[in-house]
Chain A
């Protein structure tokens, strides 16, 4: 095990996959000579050259489509979209082509591309640089969506995504690239499906993904120390397909559930998980499950407003305490 930062873990996965298979390429804006906005491809241009580590023009739909076309003939492109806010422009090719080509060709043709992009609200970037888009992609049949919450997952999920025959969207987070964590020294491939219990507890389950896993973990510590409530925390690193069985099993252990997401509530990850609570866990639940979500607003520039829009560990704690009326 070594400690490394999230971006370093991504960089390592890129490097290993580029060296493993000459048909792996990386493409995106400023990912070559400049090394990537978040350094995920630093140094790889020099190592693998401009044919494989490709600085693209600012043509999100164009270069995403180009990557998808290349994948039709055996190339394994890793496409970095600088920010999910720009991935809206590429939704045509991602949704209309990559996700559907296997089905509409009757299984003849797949699009094994990886599309990585940071979503999430950073610090005062304003409405057009703070979107979260995972809810859009997780609703698209034919597309896998994963979202790493730590460097180990960042490494292992990217490795598996490159090798997998399906198109995979990897939802990262602008604020997480410098997060440190343990990554095994030996090569490994993280499952693209499932979920992970990252803290055990008998009293309720806090479900999170990507950055909200960390709010859940912080909340669980406070709930334990200050209120004697033991929360189980489940990391939903796979958003599509969601781990129905894992969700069901955890609720069956704790009988109370909260889902925390950074995005606004409507038609979101939380909404989908709530539907699973309803469909799979109705008779296991001792109290109505709760969604902790962002305000339904374009993210404001003003710092105070921005903070008010985005949930935090504090909101998770408040939601949890509301499920234990005697414990305030």
Chain B
């Protein structure tokens, strides 16, 4: 059941300790900062977080990591010039890291949403990131078996939602949003604008509302209820 929620705090209130949480964004583009801040305040801990990176600077995901809320990161690129909170936890042995090539990360998330039990991909064959994984020679290429990444919750950012939860994004801020929305049991979206049902061209809907559970508008006043 789709819900329009007034505040980010209410939107994330149901996230339990030990959850796997997907967080959209590539760098700052598409990062749902307000939802991440609300997750921080709601106090959920022992989280497994799926994101391309492992937090930047002193905001958002980096703070969740700093405060010890994240037990495990599943990501492709944790090491950045300003990823000091992750670096410290990693060197202290206080956070687990599952490092995944970026395209495998995306496809494993997609597979979860699409009900695929696993897939063979050439990416990573012959590297340390494929160690211990099943391999097969398919179509003349050695390929590695990869499994889906499911999540309890996805926190993503879109530009607009309509009353059915259909989403459109903006430029490269789309990145992981559509696939995370499909992969999680419960998808929470922050949008800049909620528009009346029927005002989005159905040809241009990127994420159909079936994948969306909660919508919260973050800029300006509280979410308008639209039907």
Q: Do A and B come from one complex?
A: no
Interface residues of chain B, those whose CB is within 8 Å of chain A, are none
Interface residues of chain A, those whose CB is within 8 Å of chain B, are none
